[in-house]
Copies of this chain bind each other. A is one copy, B any other.
Amino acid sequence: MIKVVVLGSGNVASHLIQALTASKKSTVVQVFNRSNTVFGSIPVTDDYQQLLPADLYLIAVADDAIAEVSRSLPFEGRLIAHTSGSVSLLDTAKSNRRGVFYPLQTFSKSRAIDFSTVPLCLEAEHQADYMLLQQVAESISEQVYQVDSEQRRALHLSAVFVNNFVNHLYHIGEQICKKNQLPFDILRPLIAETAAKITEMPPLEAQTGPAKRRDNSTLLKHREQLTSHPLYLQLYDLLTEAIQKSK
């Protein structure tokens, strides 16, 4: 069994601990966090000096705390990996062997995630360390990718578009429904099918609608409906332009 210590208590830490605990090749020997949050029967500490020996220390804390946590570790030469999409491998303290173990998914406390489908993006300074990260990753997920720091930064940016920004467009759809006494439920099948469609074809091929068709009379009608909401109108115009320029 590969011994892992997880540092953190947030959504990513929780989901990782759960997946690693269920795995047959890896085991979480200890959890470190300042809130002394308990995960089942796994030993918890809030004292760096009490950290147990392990093959891997996963730093699953907020982006801006990663460097500090890595500097607080009271040992040297061990394998540490953070789980962030936007922090460079080089931002962690170089007293230890450094790696990245980035799960590309949105986690929330209230929703269970099938970890076997979560893409894990790995990076390590040393080949042997990469092999170990890979073993741990493959013990919990079927989607393991070698991704360098620059690629990971690009992925993180992509994720903002397909997750954060997409979610905000859902919110705008909901607002327009609310204003017109329509339940948001009415849009859910369309939202689900829009996401499902691109599992079978590239997004460019799946593109439909008045912008794509250059149906100016419909575009005009939509713009008129948005006059009372200048920000939505700006978004409408810019996204329409982006669709018409894409190829």
Contacts and interface: CB of A to CB of B under 8 A. Distances in A.
Contacts of A150: 180
Nearest to A199: B188
A231 B217 contact: no
Contacts of A197: 106, 108, 111, 167
Interface residues of A, number: 94
Interface in A227-247: 231-232, 234-236, 238-239, 241-243, 245-246
User: Max chain B CB contacts within 10 Å: which of A187, A202, A226, A236?
Assistant: A187
Contacts of A238: 231, 234-235, 238
Interface stretch (A21-29, A44-52, A125-133, A158-166): A158-166
A206 interface: yes
B157 A225 contact: yes
A85 B108 CA distance: 35
A171 interface: yes
A211 interface: yes
Contact of A110 (B201, B207, B225): B201
The 10 closest A-B pairs by CB, nearest first: A164-B209, A195-B195, A171-B203, A154-B180, A162-B173, A170-B203, A158-B173, A158-B176, A165-B239, A161-B173
Interface of A: 63-64, 86, 104-106, 108, 110-111, 113, 117-119, 121, 143, 145, 147, 150-151, 153-174, 176-177, 179-182, 184-204, 206-212, 215, 217-218, 221-222, 225-226, 231-232, 234-236, 238-239, 241-243, 245-246
27 contacts: A64-B217, A105-B190, A106-B194, A110-B201, A119-B186, A151-B180, A157-B225, A158-B187, A160-B236, A161-B172, A162-B172, A162-B187, A163-B209, A164-B208, A164-B209, A165-B169, A165-B239, A167-B203, A167-B206, A167-B207, A168-B239, A171-B207, A172-B242, A188-B199, A195-B195, A231-B238, A232-B242
